[in-house]
Chains A and B, each alone.
Chain A
Amino acid sequence: MTKKHNTSAIQRRLIPSYIFLIFVSFISVFPFYWMISAATNTTVDVARGKITIGTHAAENFANLLANQDLWRTMGNSFFYAIVQTILCLFICSLAGYGFELYHDKGKDRLFAVLLLAMMVPQVATMIPLFRMISKMHLLNSVWAFILPSISTPFMIMMFRQNSRNFPVSIMEAARIDGLNEFKIFFSMYVPIMKSTYAAATVVTFMNAWNSYMWPKVVMNDNRAQTMPMLIANLASGYTTDYGMLMMGVLFCSVPTMIIFFVLQKSFAEGLTGAVK
């Protein structure tokens, strides 16, 4: 009886907190709802402020297909993001493993130098990298897209820090069993570190899928464009068809939203770089 009274008193004191949370949650979610509703309405209805779900989704979708090469672009975005994720995870986890489990003075110093790359802004290396890529005749290829992002100090650091939990005794036992250093990596390290890999996958895939400035520089052939470039094109005309635009935005957002909902825990861990 008293306990029940207690909880209701606590809940009553939390009313301002609930109001604040509901307010913030509504603002956070509403643009998503609106994106979906606008994708199902005509541009006239959208402009008129209609926010209920409409019946023009098929029409907007047909317009989008007529206007842009949607399937090829979706394919491009998936292809680039998957290749980037696989290579980035392989290269950075290998390095994180090497830096942590084979560490000595020299490697620690090199690591400190590599961390300086975190300070290098994308806009500063954009021009030299563009010239490098264009001299190598790689413009509009998957290599142009992925090269600057397959080795990042952030990912190396994440794998290095999480490697601290990797039991060294397993390595020693494996060595006694006669496994070489590479086999230890593939058959011991990779399976044990799978939660770190999951978090790294989510973050790398999202970054690749969402990147915009660099693809805009090196992927200027329409056939090589990515989803963010496609929707930016839809909006850049003199008159914007809002229904069609939001249908495009929806297609650009669905893959990352699925990942968000399915792997939310890994996503949060990947962002903060703190996987246990």
Chain B
Amino acid sequence: MKKKGLTVTGKQRIAGWTFLTPASLLIFILSFYPMFQALMMSMKTGSSANMKWAPLLFNYKRMFADKLFMRSVGNTFLYLIIQVPIMLILAILLAQILNNKDIKFRGLFRTMVFLPCATSLVSYALIFKSLFATQGLMNSILMNLGIIKENINFLGTPGTAKAIIIIALLWRWTGYNMVFYLAGLQNIEYQVYEAAKIDGANGWQTFWKITVPLLKPTIIMTFIMSINGTLQLFDESVNLTSGGPANSTITMSHYIYNNSFGQGTANFGYASAMSFFVFILVAVLAFINLKVGDTRD
């Protein structure tokens, strides 16, 4: 009897392992192993077919001396520092307003704010590129309002090109983050807000004293996700500005792509070193996330 029981649990244990083996193997072969290969390749030089071992840290030294790569790091961090905080504050504000049961047409507003998530990154990048073209809608609106005298080359000027990437990112991702906050707010008892209202708290006070503290876990999560996403920006840089003018808006991923699969270049070793740098940035952030996340329960 006991023996039979053991074989049954044995069978179940084997079944359990069978269920998770395909997924686990795929992650090891298609994620961890390539990561290891990237590390090895980052120590080599030469293009795809014949790669040779390079002097120790050769590619990494080259990377830190590469002004263009450093510019792409700078650009990426600029987007990060300006765009992420604005987006998250806007998203929390919208979520708080849409969580208010007195607001009419809540479903309609939510759908509209969330709508940009339905576009692909390439689509919205091209829509913004067209809207802000020198012969585009934005220019004709500003002309008609008399704000500008002649058309501005928005995407051909470094400052405005960066600003437009940030505006486009805000447009695409604010609604996305709002959904996380709305889900988080649903876990907060609505009575807390009712009580605050009776105590005479205004919207501003409710926002900072109730919403923000109670959403802290969600805020940390969206913060990390946004940082992770921004560090890997690619589609916008490629399609909205082509990294230009004169590489003033290029992102890290875009520069790495150009070095590995761009026209006439296959610097796999060098590109791998740069991509490993991105990995370390992402990993450090994830580690901080785990540390911060630990204290929340």
Knowing A48-B140, A147-B30, A150-B26, the reply to whether A252 touches B123 (Cβ < 8 A) is: yes
With a CB–CB cut-off of 8 A, which chain B residues contact A131?
37, 48, 268
Contact bitstring B254-280, A, C-beta under 8 A = 1, else 0: 001100110000001001100110110
Picked from B20, B23, B286, the residue with its CB within 8 Å of the CB of A119 is B286
Knowing A47-B136, A181-B12, the reply to whether A249 touches B27 (Cβ < 8 A) is: no
Knowing A120-B35, A123-B234, A253-B118, the reply to whether A151 touches B129 (Cβ < 8 A) is: no
Contact between B275 and A98, CB atoms less than 8 A apart: no
Knowing A123-B234, A232-B126, the reply to whether A153 touches B27 (Cβ < 8 A) is: yes
Knowing A34-B137, A232-B126, the reply to whether A156 touches B23 (Cβ < 8 A) is: yes
With a CB–CB cut-off of 8 A, which chain A residues contact B129?
235
Contact bitstring A262-276, B, C-beta under 8 A = 1, else 0: 001001100110100
Contact between A127 and B38, CB atoms less than 8 A apart: yes
**A 29-59 contacts with B by CB, 8 A:** 29, 31-32, 34-35, 38, 46-49, 51
State whether the Cβ of A78 lies closer than 8 Å to any Cβ in chain B: no
Contact between A123 and B20, CB atoms less than 8 A apart: no
Contact bitstring B113-132, A, C-beta under 8 A = 1, else 0: 11111111111101111110
Contact between A121 and B282, CB atoms less than 8 A apart: yes
State whether the Cβ of B102 lies closer than 8 Å to any Cβ in chain A: yes
Contact between A210 and B130, CB atoms less than 8 A apart: no
Picked from B24, B90, B136, B228, the residue with its CB within 8 Å of the CB of A95 is B24
- In the bound assembly, the distance between CA atoms of A246 and B261 in angstroms comes to 27
Contact between A107 and B41, CB atoms less than 8 A apart: no
- In the bound assembly, the distance between CA atoms of A262 and B120 in angstroms comes to 17
With a CB–CB cut-off of 8 A, which chain B residues contact A94?
19-20, 22-23
Among B13, B100, B109, find the residue whose CB has the most chain A CB atoms closer than 10 A. B109
State whether the Cβ of B214 lies closer than 8 Å to any Cβ in chain A: no
**B 94-120 contacts with A by CB, 8 A:** 94, 97-98, 100, 102-104, 109, 111-120
Picked from A10, A125, A185, the residue with its CB within 8 Å of the CB of B38 is A125
State whether the Cβ of A237 lies closer than 8 Å to any Cβ in chain B: no
State whether the Cβ of A188 lies closer than 8 Å to any Cβ in chain B: no
Contact stretch, chosen from A18-26, A64-72, A190-198 = A18-26
Interface size class of B (residues with CB under 8 A): 35 or more
State whether the Cβ of A216 lies closer than 8 Å to any Cβ in chain B: yes
With a CB–CB cut-off of 8 A, which chain B residues contact A249?
123, 126-127
State whether the Cβ of A62 lies closer than 8 Å to any Cβ in chain B: no
- Min CB gap A103→B, angstroms: 8
Residue of B whose beta carbon sits closest to that of A43? B135
Knowing A11-B102, A129-B30, the reply to whether A27 touches B279 (Cβ < 8 A) is: no
- In the bound assembly, the distance between CA atoms of A119 and B35 in angstroms comes to 11
- In the bound assembly, the distance between CA atoms of A37 and B13 in angstroms comes to 59
Contact between A110 and B111, CB atoms less than 8 A apart: no
Knowing A29-B112, A228-B122, A232-B238, the reply to whether A122 touches B232 (Cβ < 8 A) is: yes
Picked from B97, B114, B268, the residue with its CB within 8 Å of the CB of A21 is B97
With a CB–CB cut-off of 8 A, which chain A residues contact B256?
123, 126
Among A94, A180, A229, find the residue whose CB has the most chain B CB atoms closer than 10 A. A94
With a CB–CB cut-off of 8 A, which chain B residues contact A170?
none
With a CB–CB cut-off of 8 A, which chain A residues contact B127?
31, 34-35, 246, 249
State whether the Cβ of B34 lies closer than 8 Å to any Cβ in chain A: yes
With a CB–CB cut-off of 8 A, which chain A residues contact B100?
14, 17
Contact between B253 and A213, CB atoms less than 8 A apart: yes
Knowing A217-B261, A232-B126, the reply to whether A92 touches B23 (Cβ < 8 A) is: yes
Picked from A38, A91, A260, the residue with its CB within 8 Å of the CB of B118 is A260
State whether the Cβ of B180 lies closer than 8 Å to any Cβ in chain A: yes
State whether the Cβ of B31 lies closer than 8 Å to any Cβ in chain A: yes
Knowing A151-B23, A209-B120, the reply to whether A125 touches B97 (Cβ < 8 A) is: no
Residue of B whose beta carbon sits closest to that of A7? B102
Among B13, B135, B272, B276, find the residue whose CB has the most chain A CB atoms closer than 10 A. B135
Contact between A121 and B183, CB atoms less than 8 A apart: no
Contact between B26 and A27, CB atoms less than 8 A apart: no
Contact between B34 and A231, CB atoms less than 8 A apart: no
State whether the Cβ of A114 lies closer than 8 Å to any Cβ in chain B: yes
Contact between B115 and A260, CB atoms less than 8 A apart: yes
- In the bound assembly, the distance between CA atoms of A119 and B263 in angstroms comes to 29
- Min CB gap B84→A, angstroms: 17
Contact between B126 and A235, CB atoms less than 8 A apart: yes
21 residue pairs of the A-B complex, CB under 8 angstroms, read A10-B102, A21-B113, A28-B115, A28-B175, A29-B112, A31-B128, A114-B24, A119-B282, A119-B283, A121-B231, A126-B275, A128-B38, A128-B41, A228-B120, A228-B121, A231-B126, A246-B130, A256-B118, A268-B179, A271-B117, A274-B183
| Given A240-B133, A260-B115, 19 further pairs, Cβ under 8 A | A14-B102, A24-B94, A31-B116, A48-B140, A102-B19, A114-B24, A119-B279, A119-B283, A120-B35, A123-B257, A125-B38, A127-B38, A127-B272, A129-B30, A148-B30, A213-B257, A227-B120, A261-B118, A267-B117
- Which 10 pairs, one residue from A and one from B, show the smallest C-beta to C-beta distance? A102-B16, A49-B140, A98-B19, A95-B23, A181-B15, A210-B120, A151-B26, A128-B34, A98-B20, A260-B118
